[in-house]
Structure formats: C-alpha cells, structure tokens
Amino acid sequence: MKGIIRFSKSIKHNRYTIIGMVKRDLKTKYAGSYLGLLWSIIHPISQILIFSFIFSVVMRIKLGPEFTGVNFTVWLVCGLIPWLYFVEVVSRAPNTIMDNVNLVTKMRFNSELLSFNYLISGLINHFISFCLLLIFLLANGIDLKATVFVLPLYLVGISLFMLGLSWLLASLTVYLRDIGQFIGVVLNLWFYFTPIVFPFSAIPNEYKVYLEINPVFYLIEGYRMILLSDEPINFYGLMYLFAAGMAMFLIGGLIFRKLKSGFADVL
C-alpha cells in the first residue's frame, strides 16, 4: 500500500510532465501517417473480420448458454477490445528504458513514469475503441445494463497488473535484451491461453483450471458478462484480478527500484 501511495504522489507531482509525454507519444506513434489515430480502429477491425470468418464461418464455434442469441462477431468484439489494450501496453514494455535513454541517463527523472506513460497512451486508445464498441452494441440491438459502470474496476485491476509487468520487463530488458523478442512469443501463447476467440464452455473441464489462473481471463469474462449476458457479475473473478494486479504491481515495482540504479552504467 505504501508503494501505491508513493507512486500516486509521484504522479501528482509530475502530472504536467506525464501529460506532455502522453501527447508526444500519441503524436510520435502516428507521425507521418495520413490516417493518424484511425489506425487504432482499423487494426482491431481487420482482426475482428479475420477471426470472425475463421471461427464462426469455417470452424462454426458455438457460444455457451449464457450468451444465447448473441451474434458471434459481437461476442468476439467484446473480448478482443480489452485484449488489444493489454497487448498494446505489454508489447511496448520491454523497450521502455531503451527508447528513452536520454531521460534515464542525462537528467534526474523518475523513470517509473515512462511505463505509466505507455499505460495512459494505451488507455486512451482503449477508450476510443470502447466508445465504438458501445455504438456497435446499440446498433445490434443490445441494451446496456447498469452494471456497465463496474467495468472501470476491471480496468483498474488489469492496469495495476500491466504496470507492474511493464516495470518488470523494462528493467530486465536493460540487462537481458532478448526479453524484447521473447515477449512477442509469450503474447502469442497468452492469446490462446485466454478464451478470446473460443468460449470458455468449449474447454474440457480438466483444463479449465489452467485458464482460470490467467488474470486476463477475468478481464475478458468481465467485459462479456457485463455487456452481453444477464448472468450476475463474477465478483470472485474481479477480486482475483485485483489481487493479481496488486501482486504484480508490488513485485514489478520492487524489482524496478532495485535494478534502476545500474541503468546508467549498462546503457
């Protein structure tokens, strides 16, 4: 808890610096591009069309009884949007320090804020995608329930998890550059270790326990159950996500603080 309070004070103290970094990051990401932020919409749409065709037309995946009457594409979008938020932040994490060498080595700067900057940039893209998702749901005749206001709790839990994981990956990559390549392989495996393109009900019972270890599973489940199902919210899953988020936040923060004193020497 002390770590969270200390980091919150650092965010407040450096809020204008953070705003400037986020603006610069968003501009840099789409620099020279005519479509700019539209690419943050085009990429998920292309993935949705591909996965929808493969799994609903070719493989004819059937959804569980809790999603009776729900179109597969709608169900897929509700799971893919939060996953893209997760993968955008985590995939950028290893090179956080390497891409900001000048800030880390040539001035007094709270380097933990670099990962937070990428987190906020990803959150902005997610917010844009989520607004489009709500329009898509309403266009498909799906009414939003009051429980939609619980979704920010899921975002807080997964954001804590991602921030801690980002600190861990960023600090270790300074000393072991292969992590930047390795994380791409891990994210590909993680994608299929999470029921995004196939329903959880399709998994044999003896294997379900392995998927339930995965914190991202509860994020995807939370989005789908709140937006598409009349089933009650899985508060156990929400608490597990928060617990995993807190644990990763503390572990990642501790390792980052232990290793960052040597960044300047290695870089």
Query: What pLDDT is stored for residue 183 in this prediction?
Result: 92
The rounded mean pLDDT for the chain is 83
Phi, psi angle pair for 194, to nearest 5°:
-120, 130
Asked which of 61-65, 222-226, 244-248 is least confident by mean pLDDT, the reply is 61-65
Does 59 score more than 60 pLDDT? no
Q: What pLDDT band is residue 230 in, cutting at 50, 70 and 90?
A: confident
CA dist list (Å): 120 to 2, 139, 160, 222 = 22, 29, 12, 21
Contact between 212 and 133 (Cβ < 8 Å): no
Query: What pLDDT is stored for residue 187 in this prediction?
Result: 94
Does 189 score more than 90 pLDDT? yes
Residue 261 tokens read as 């004193």
Sign of CA dihedral 244, 245, 246, 252: positive
- Cα maximum dimension of the chain: 59
Half-sphere exposure at residue 31, Cβ-oriented, CA atoms within 13 angstroms = 6
Close Cβ partners of 181 (under 8 Å, ≥ 6 residues apart)? none
Contact between 136 and 48 (Cβ < 8 Å): no
Q: Give the rounded percent of residues in the chain with a pLDDT score beyond 90.
A: 33
The string of pLDDT tens digits covering residues 145-188 is 888 899 999 999 999 999 999 999 999 998 988 888 889 899 99
CA dist list (Å): 248 to 244, 252, 256 = 6, 6, 12
Contact between 253 and 112 (Cβ < 8 Å): yes
The string of pLDDT tens digits covering residues 90-120 is 999 998 888 877 777 766 677 888 888 999 9
Residue whose C-alpha is closest to residue 196's, from 212, 218, 162, 220: 220
Query: What pLDDT is stored for residue 105 in this prediction?
Result: 72
pTM for this predicted structure:
0.88
Query: What pLDDT is stored for residue 232 in this prediction?
Result: 83
Of 106 and 141, more confident: 141
Does 238 score more than 90 pLDDT? yes
Query: Residue 63 in 3-state DSSP?
Result: coil
Query: What pLDDT is stored for residue 194 in this prediction?
Result: 92
Residue whose C-alpha is closest to residue 7's, from 88, 106, 113: 113
Q: What pLDDT band is residue 72 in, cutting at 50, 70 and 90?
A: confident
Query: What pLDDT is stored for residue 133 in this prediction?
Result: 85
* Alpha-carbon span 218 to 150, nearest angstrom: 13
Boundaries of every domain in the chain: 2-266
Does 34 score more than 60 pLDDT? no
